[in-house]
Structure 1
Amino acid sequence: MGAEKTKYLDRTIPTISLANFESRIDEITSELVSAAENVGFFSVIDHGITPEEIDEIFAQSARFFSLPDDTKAKVPFSSANNAGWEKNAQVRPSTGAADRKESYQMQFGRNMEGKWLDDSALPGFKESALKFMWKAQGVSEKLMTCFARGLGFEDDYFIKAHDVKRPESQTVARLLHYFETPRENANGEIFHRAGAHTDWDLVTLLFQKEGQSGLEICPGREASTNFAHGDTWTKVAPCQDAIICNIGDLLMSWSDDRFKSTFHRVKAPSEPDDFYGERYSIAFFNQPCRDAKIQGPLKKYPMVTGEEFTRNAMRRNFEALEKKRLEKEKLEKEMEEARKLVEREGIRGASVESGGKVVAEVGA
C-alpha cells in the first residue's frame, strides 16, 4: 500500500514586527495574542538579530557538524541535562522511526558542564554560540513580556520563570543538521527528517536557511487528529529576515488552553520540488527553570513546577512511543499470519487491516 498523499492548504502565517518595541508594546501584544489564539505559529521581523549574526551561528553549526563523529561523541547527549550531541537517536511517536538528523543541544549554565568541546577542537565555537544564545534570549524576553500582559500577569512574570542566569535554567539552543535524502528510492523506504510533534516549551524560536525548505505546520491543535495524520498541512518557506516562532505545550497549559500549541514537522522530501539536500536549522527552546511554578490565571490545571512539567511531558512521550511499538508488533504479527494463510491455502492474497483500514496486501 502506498503512503497517503499529504493534503496542503495555503494559510497566512502572521508576521509581527518588533520595531520600536517599547512604544508599540500594546499593539505588538495584541498581534501576538491573536496569533497565539488562532494559529499557534507566527514570524517576527525587526527583532534585532542581524543577518550577519545569523550567518555566523550557521557557519559555527556547520563547523561543529563537519567534525568526525568520534570528536562529537566526546560530548554525548545526556537526557538528564538535555545537553550534548546525538545522531539518528530521536524517535517521534508520530512515526515510530528515528529522525534522519543529528543535533547538538546547548544551555547557558551548569547543565553544560562537560558538554562543550575543548576550544582546541573547535576554536571560538563556545564564545560565538553563547553570544548568539544571549541574542535569542533577548528576543524571547520581548515575546514573554507580551504574552504575560496578554494573560494578565506582570510584565516580567515569564522572564523570571525562564531566567537563564539561574542554575535552575533549562532553556536550550539546538543546532540541527538533517542529512541529504536520496532522490532515488527503489525499495520504497520511508524517511523522516522530523516527524509530526509539538514542542514542550513556552515558545520556540526557529532560525532557518533560505532555500532549505521542509517545515510544515498543521494549525488548530483542538481540530487535529492524533499527530495530525491525514490532516491538512501548510508549508512554511524559510526567510532570512524572519524568525519562525511557535507556541509550546507549556504556554498552552499556562494560558489554560487559550493559546494553541501546534503540530509541525520537517517533511521527508518526496516530490520533485522538495528540498533533498542537507538542511540546517537552529531552534531556541524557552524551557522554564526547574523550580518555576506553573499555573494559568484560571487555574484550569493543578500547579506544577518546571521540572515536573518537563518530566510529565517526557513520560507522555515515552508512553506514546510504547503504544506505537506495540501497534507495530501487532501489525507485523498479523502480516506474518496472513503470509502463512496465503502459503497454506494457496489463495491469491490476503488483506491486513489496522484501525479499520487496509494497511497491507499479502500475496496479491
Structure 2
Amino acid sequence: MTQMTQQGCATGPDAPSGAPAPALTELDREARMGGAGTERTDREIRRIDLSDFEDRREEITQQLWDAAVEVGFFQIHHHGIDLAAVRRAFATTRDFFALPEETKAQYTLRKGLNAGWESKTQVRPSIGTPDQKESYQITRPYMDELWPTDTELAGFRETMLGFEAQCWEVAMRVLSCFADRLGFARDFFADAHDPSQDSYRSALRMLHYFAVPEEARGGLGLWRAGAHTDFDCLTLLFQQEGQGGLQVCPGKEAQAQEWTPITPSEDAITCNIGDMLMRWSDDALPSNFHRVKTPGPDEDQGARYSIAFFAQANRDVLIEGPGRKYPPITAEEYLQQRISANFDRKVAG
C-alpha cells in the first residue's frame, strides 16, 4: 500500500527542486529487500469485525491496536462499504485500463501532484527495475483536465469520486481508534485529512498489474511491485478473490526476509500502517515492508487488479507525536524529504 517515489504504492516519481536531502537509512534498508527470502505462513493476519462500531468501539480499538503493533497489517470486514459498490469500482477500474493507450496518455500523471495515469514508472530501490503495472491516481484538488470524458468512459468520475469518499469515511473511523489510544482528540485525524481543503493529499489509486508475458512464464525475473513501505498514515487495499501476491515482512523478520502472504478476500479491506503514522505515533505503530510477488508457473499469471486508498495528511498539517520523540514537521516537508531521498538515490544509482 506508499509513494515510492512518493508513497510506495501511491504516487509518482518526481522530486521538488530545493527539497532537503535527508539521511538515506530507510532507503538503505529497502535496497536490501530485493531477495526472494522465505515464505512464512504461520503468522496471523487478523480479520477485525467493525460491525456495531460505536457500541463496540473499545473492543474494536483494542483489536486494531494489537494487530497494528504486532504485524502492521490487518483486514477489516463489515466496514460499511457495500459489496456492490466495491464491485462497481473494480468494473470501472477494468474499463479504464482497457482504454486505448493514446486515450490514457491524455491524462498522464502530473509531476509532484499524484494525479493521473502512469505505466511502468516506479522503480523500487529494493529491486532497481520498474514495477510491472499501470495506475491511475485520484487526488481531488489536482484533477482538472485529468478525468476521462463521458464519451470515453461514461460515469467514471462520479463512480470513483463516490467510492473515494466512502474509503475516506472508513479510514477515518479506523484512525479515530488510533487517535483514542495515542491520546489525541477522537476527530484528530479526520481534521488532519480534511477533503474540503485545497491542501488535501489523500489519494485513491487504481492498479493494473500486467499479465506475465508468455516468454517469461517459466521464471520469476520480474516483481509486480518490489518491497517498500507506504509513506501515508493508513492504506486501505481492495483485492479480488484469486488475485493474490501481496506479502508482508514485519520489522522483526525484515533481516531474515520472512514473507507472509495475505489472502485476498472480496468482503474485506486489507489495511496497513504507513510511515507518516509511524512517526506520528512515536514509532508505536510500525510501517512494515510489503511487496507484490509475481505468480509462479503453477499459479494464475493473468492480470491482477487492485484499488488502494492512501490516507495522507493535508500538506499544511503539523506531524508531532504525543511524546515528541521527533521534531515537528509539516506533512508537505515530510513528503518532500522522502521524495528527495528517492530521487537522489535514483540519480546516484
**TM tier, shorter chain?**
0.7 to 0.9
- Choose the corresponding residue for 2:292, options 258, 266, 274: 266
Residue 227 of structure 2 corresponds to which residue in structure 1? 196
Structure 1, 210-219 or 182-191: larger mean CA deviation: 182-191
Question: Conserved in 1, the CA contact under 8 Å of 2:208 and 2:305?
Answer: yes
Question: Conserved in 2, the CA contact under 8 Å of 1:183 and 1:276?
Answer: no
Residue 309 of structure 1 corresponds to which residue in structure 2? 334
Residue 9 of structure 2 corresponds to which residue in structure 1? none
| Counterpart mapping for 1:238-249 below 5 A | 238-249=264-275
> Which letter does structure 2 place at the counterpart of 1:235?
P
| Counterpart mapping for 1:82-121 below 5 A | 82-108=114-140, 110-121=141-152
What is the aligned-residue identity percentage? 45
> Which letter does structure 2 place at the counterpart of 1:309?
Y
- Choose the corresponding residue for 2:276, options 242, 247, 250: 250
Structure 1 residue 115, shift from structure 2 partner: 1.5
Question: Conserved in 2, the CA contact under 8 Å of 1:214 and 1:275?
Answer: no
Question: Conserved in 1, the CA contact under 8 Å of 2:217 and 2:296?
Answer: no
Residue 57 of structure 1 corresponds to which residue in structure 2? 89
Indicate whether 1:297 and 2:309 are aligned.
no
TM score, norm. by length of structure 1: 0.83
Indicate whether 1:152 and 2:156 are aligned.
no
**Partner Cα separation in structure 2 for residue 5 and residue 111 of structure 1:** 38
> Which letter does structure 2 place at the counterpart of 1:38?
E
| Counterpart mapping for 1:171-186 below 5 A | 171-182=202-213, 184-185=215-216
What residue ranges of structure 2 are gaps of 5+ in the alignment? Answer: 1-33
* CA RMSD, 1 decimal: 1.7
* Cα deviation digits, residues 320-344 of structure 1 (max 9, x gap): 4345x2xxxxxxxxxxxxxxxxxxx
CA spacing shift, 1:186–1:138, aligned 2, 3 Å: closer
Query: Could you say which structure has the larger radius of gyration?
Result: 1
SS in 1 for 2:335: helix
**Partner Cα separation in structure 1 for residue 35 and residue 228 of structure 2:** 18
Structure 1 residue 72, shift from structure 2 partner: 0.5
* Cα deviation digits, residues 5-24 of structure 1 (max 9, x gap): 54111110011111111111
Residue 43 of structure 1 corresponds to which residue in structure 2? 75
CA spacing shift, 1:132–1:188, aligned 2, 3 Å: closer
Residue 167 of structure 1 corresponds to which residue in structure 2? 198
> Which letter does structure 2 place at the counterpart of 1:69?
E
Name the count of aligned residue pairs. Answer: 315
TM score, norm. by length of structure 2: 0.87
SS in 1 for 2:106: coil
CA spacing shift, 1:187–1:46, aligned 2, 3 Å: closer
> Which letter does structure 1 place at the counterpart of 2:273?
I
Residue 354 of structure 1 corresponds to which residue in structure 2? none
> Which letter does structure 2 place at the counterpart of 1:275?
D
**Partner Cα separation in structure 1 for residue 249 and residue 63 of structure 2:** 20
Residue 280 of structure 1 corresponds to which residue in structure 2? 305
SS in 1 for 2:285: coil
| Counterpart mapping for 1:69-80 below 5 A | 69-80=101-112
Question: Conserved in 1, the CA contact under 8 Å of 2:219 and 2:297?
Answer: no
Structure 1 residue 79, shift from structure 2 partner: 2.7
SS in 2 for 1:190: coil
Residue 155 of structure 2 corresponds to which residue in structure 1? 124
Between 1 and 2, higher relative CO (CA 8 Å, sep ≥ 6) is seen in 2
Indicate whether 1:236 and 2:262 are aligned.
yes
SS in 1 for 2:309: strand
CA spacing shift, 1:292–1:187, aligned 2, 3 Å: same
SS in 2 for 1:201: coil
CA spacing shift, 1:186–1:243, aligned 2, 3 Å: closer
> Which letter does structure 1 place at the counterpart of 2:118?
E
* Cα deviation digits, residues 156-208 of structure 1 (max 9, x gap): 11110011121110000000000000365389672121000000000000000
SS in 1 for 2:305: strand
